[in-house]
Amino acid sequence: MQLKYNDDSLVLHTDFYQLNMAETYWEDGIHNRKAVFEVFFRKLPFGNGYGVFAGLEKVIEYLQNYTFTESDIAYLRDELKFKEDFLDYLKDVKFTGTVRSMKEGELVFSNEPILRIEAPLLEAQLIETAILNIVNYQTLIATKATRIKQIIGDQVALEMGTRRAQEMDAAIWGTRSAYIGGFDATSNVRAGKMFGIPVAGTHAHAMIQAYRDEYIAFHKYAKRHKDCVFLVDTYDTLKSGVPNAIKVAKELGDKINFKGIRLDSGDLAYLSKEARKLLDQAGFKDTKIIASNDLDEDTIINLKSQGAKIDTWGIGTKLITAFDQPALGAVYKLVSIEDEKGNMVDTIKISGNPEKVSTPGLKRVYRIINKMNNKSEGDYIALDNENPQAEERLKMFHPVHVFISKFITNFEARELHHPIFEDGVLVYKSPSLQEIQGYVKENLELLWEEYKRSLMPEEYPVDLSQACWDNKMKNISEVQKKLSK
């Protein structure tokens, strides 16, 4: 493709309005005031009881490489008509802020800060769009994948959605998110190369059609691919596909490892049960049955309840596109800003809906784990200078329905935010993808089953400390006073 500006810096992967605001701050001389923004979402996707955070790795890469290239500047000058004085300034902009964030694979709930960015106002403003773009998609897919994997349990989950994904980046980063969420392997070879995710696959109908004979196609495939899985539904699963697979496997005997068959259409419960009988009768008791065809957590629950004899689940479209909810609504909100005297002041966004009123101030998030049973009692958002671990009896109360409260005594207050950047310098060592996947599993153990069921889960508590709640009320009444003047 012939590009007029031939580099692909991600700096302009932002909304025009961010640049316009940045220019305003710069002209007014407030661009270097320290600002604190938080990323959070208000509603969990898919009616799920928890979210799974993903995207930090790409956010880190984006912030580390935050530099306007010559062609970025040229485009802003030539096409968008930004003036030279502002462009001169932009040329030297880098990310110099401090970031605290949850780790990838952290379980995350509504209204709690996932990432906290403290940076000069101009920088913090410019990076909003890309950060939300990354976090929203990857968190959405990691959550969907975990939700599906919870239903699949110890059986194998294979991600095969690339052809249906919303373009290449979504396929790659969606595959990574699926792996974080517990998927065992992917069909995407590039994702295997980039991230070390195990790669697996069968073959398509095209190969049978190319040979115009199922038996010959299986035979040719098996000769070259000793670990073979045959797709058996091209003509007739039970009359032709499974018998041909068995015939080839018997003929080639020890020369191949007949790993499985794949069903991709029809009644997957019925066909899997019948195919299992045929395989067992032929002595192939260890040969696995793989199913695919528009599967998601609901069809998988249904198939399991029908006693389907499926060992491996191949999932594409409905995972990689987050079919039933194609977007997560994470937002990026200013919670504190430096004033003209150099003091940090809180900022608040008021809404008619009490759940939507933002929570001002610098905050930290803790997971309150009951040491008696090693289960989480809920998350606790406190102001930056508080130390909930020092409390003997921690009061947890619902931030809107405040009469719902409890006291916790023997607990660990596990801080969920970790230092990622300090004044623009990366201070975080990313865990391996395998470690992140393991971290999700570990974290799920902390949750009671009530929060993990796929249908109508209980609402997990995300509470504010008394000081944080008082501070919010103070901010609300200050705004009200101003408005009534």
Ligand X SMILES: O=P(O)(O)OC[C@H]1O[C@H](OP(=O)(O)OP(=O)(O)O)[C@H](O)[C@@H]1O
Ligand Y SMILES: Nc1ncnc2c1ncn2[C@@H]1O[C@H](COP(=O)(O)OP(=O)(O)OP(=O)(O)O)[C@@H](O)[C@H]1O
Q: Which residues, 6 or more positions from 279, have their beta carbon under 8 angstroms from its beta carbon?
A: 242, 246, 261, 285, 287, 289
The two three-digit tokens of residue 65, written as one number: 């490489």
Cα distance between residue 358 and residue 367, in whole Å: 20
Q: Binding string, 225-264, against ligand X, x = CB under 6 A?
A: ---------------------------------------x
Q: Please list the residues that pair with 210 across neighbouring strands.
A: none
| Residue 265 CB, nearest approach to ligand Y (Å) | 4
Q: Which residue has the tokens 């691919």?
A: 225
DSSP states of 414-440 as a string? Answer: EE--EEEEETTEE---PPPHHHHHHHH
Residue nearest to ligand X (CB): 316
- Cβ atoms < 10 Å from Cβ of 446: 17
Q: Does 274 sit near ligand Y (CB under 6 A)?
A: no
With CB atoms as reference, the residue minimizing the distance to ligand Y is 294
Tell me the closest approach of the beta carbon of residue 287 to ligand NIO, in angstroms: 16
Binding to ligand X by residue 293, rule CB under 6 A?
A: yes
| The one among 134, 295, 365, 436 contacting ligand X by CB under 6 A | 295
CA distance 187 to 204: 12
Using rule CB under 6 A, residue 187 touches ligand Y: no
By CB under 6 A, name the one of 187, 272, 321, 376 that touches ligand NIO.
187
Smallest distance, Å, CB 206 to ligand X?
A: 6
292 touches 319 (CB < 8 A): no
- Residues 175 and 188 sit within 8 Å (Cβ to Cβ): yes
Site string for ligand NIO, 314-353 (x = CB under 6 A): x-x-------------------------------------
**104 vs 264, beta carbon nearer ligand X:** 264
What's the CA angle centered on 454, arms 450 and 460, to 5 degrees? 40
376 binds, among ligand Y, ligand X, ligand NIO, none (CB under 5 to 8 A by kind): none
Q: Contact between 269 and ligand Y (CB under 6 A)? A: yes
Query: Per CB under 6 A, does 210 bind ligand X?
Result: no
User: Contact between 312 and ligand NIO (CB under 6 A)?
Assistant: no
Cα(350)–Cα(277) distance, rounded to whole angstroms?
63
Provide the minimum distance between the beta carbon of 142 and ligand NIO in the complex, in angstroms, as a whole number.
Answer: 20
Q: Between 265 and 432, name the residue whose CB sits nearer to ligand Y.
A: 265
| Shortest distance, position 125 Cβ to ligand X, whole Å | 39
Nearer to ligand X, 55 or 314 (CB): 314
Instruction: Tell the smallest beta-carbon distance from residue 240 to ligand Y (Å).
Output: 14
Q: Tell me whether residue 428 is exposed, middle or buried, using C-beta atoms within 10 angstroms of its C-beta: 0 to 12, 13 to 18, 19 or more.
A: middle
Q: Binding to ligand X by residue 70, rule CB under 6 A?
A: no
Contact between 295 and ligand Y (CB under 6 A)?
A: yes
Token pair in block for residue 188? 């995407």
d(CA 201, CA 18): 43
Q: At what angle do helices 128-152 and 433-445 cross, to 10 degrees?
A: 60
- Window 299 to 358, contacts with ligand Y (CB under 6 A): 299, 302-303, 306
Contact (CB, 8 A) for 258 and 249: yes
Q: Which does 317 bind (CB under 5 to 8 A by kind): ligand X, ligand Y, ligand NIO, none?
A: ligand X
Residue 271, C-beta contacts closer than 8 angstroms, at least 6 positions apart: 233, 237, 238, 263
Structure tokens at 452: 């993990």
Q: Which helix (H) or strand (E) holds 411?
A: strand 411-415
Nearest approach in angstroms of CB 212 to ligand NIO is 21
Find which of ligand Y, ligand NIO, ligand X, none residue 205 binds, CB within 5 to 8 Å per kind.
ligand X
**Alpha carbon distance, N-terminus to C-terminus of the chain:** 59
Which spans of this chain sit near ligand X (rule: CB under 6 A)?
A: 160-161, 163-164, 204-206, 264, 292-295, 314-318
Which spans of this chain sit near ligand Y (rule: CB under 6 A)?
A: 265-269, 293-295, 299, 302-303, 306
Which spans of this chain sit near ligand NIO (rule: CB under 6 A)?
A: 160, 187, 201-202, 262, 292, 314, 316
